[in-house]
Amino acid sequence: MLTALKTSNVATGKALADAIRATKYQGLLGDFAFDTTGVGISATAIGTIKGGKLVAAAG
């Protein structure tokens, strides 16, 4: 939200909504973005550490 406020240069209306939807974030838990309706979407991988290495969890 703070990124969107900075990039839109406004705090209301369509410009802010568009800026929120355009915001992409790569963080500790993976990539995060908003879809065209404004719903947050993220890709998260879950794994375990075996032998000192991260291994994807079997599902």
- Given a cut of 80, whether residue 51 has pLDDT beyond it is yes
- Given a cut of 80, whether residue 27 has pLDDT beyond it is no
- Given a cut of 80, whether residue 48 has pLDDT beyond it is yes
C-alpha 19/C-alpha 51 separation (Å) is: 43
Per the structure, the count of domains in the chain is 1
0.75 surpassed by pTM: no
Show the domain range for 35. Answer: 2-56
Cβ–Cβ under 8 Å, residues 8 and 14: no
Cβ–Cβ under 8 Å, residues 3 and 14: no
- Given a cut of 70, whether residue 5 has pLDDT beyond it is no
At 42 the pLDDT is 73
H-state helical runs in the chain: 2-8, 13-22
